[in-house]
Amino acid sequence: MTEPNGERNERITEAEHAIMEVIWDRHPVSASEVCDDVCESRGWSMPTVKTLLSRLVSKGALATEPAGRKFLYSPLIERADYVGGESRRLVDRLFGGRAVSLFAHLAENEALTDEDLGEIERLLKEMRK
């Protein structure tokens, strides 16, 4: 999943991300526990969850450990690292690598609330210290 230079070589799909969210929130976790969290809301079955877990193990995002007749899954990548990488890719791909263009787009499309703007201002002040 992660190259020596810190870059991931395989992206996590939206479906795999749903699995990762469960595992980040509570781990180690079994496939049946993951299914309990996501199968009904997404219309998935246990084989779907097991396929996604297998893909995430192959990508190096998850570790497995045997626990009797089942496996327990734990994350090998941190949520913050994943979010940071995806955020950077989004800004690079859609906004020419400039975060200010992202904020301008959100502001122009009224996607930022007054609360959002206040939080951004607080973050900017903290960064300048």
- Cα 59 to Cα 9: distance, rounded to the nearest angstrom: 8
Would you say 45 and 39 are in contact if contact means Cβ atoms under 8 Å apart? Answer: yes
Is the bond preceding 75 in cis, omega lying within 30 degrees of 0?
no
Q: What is the rounded average pLDDT of the residues 107-127?
A: 84
pLDDT score at 3: 42
pTM value is 0.74
Domains in the chain, start-ordered, CATH in brackets? 14-75 (1.10.10.10), 79-128 (1.10.4040)
pLDDT single digits (tens) 24-74: 999 999 999 999 999 999 999 999 999 999 999 999 999 999 999 999 999
Alpha helix ranges (H) inside 8-78: 14-25, 31-42, 46-58
- Cα 43 to Cα 27: distance, rounded to the nearest angstrom: 23
Beta strands in the chain (DSSP E): 29-30, 62-67, 70-75
Look up residue 8 and give its DSSP letter.
Answer: B
pLDDT score at 104: 84
How distant, in Å, are the alpha carbons of 19, 56, 60, 104 from that of 49?
Answer: 8, 11, 17, 39
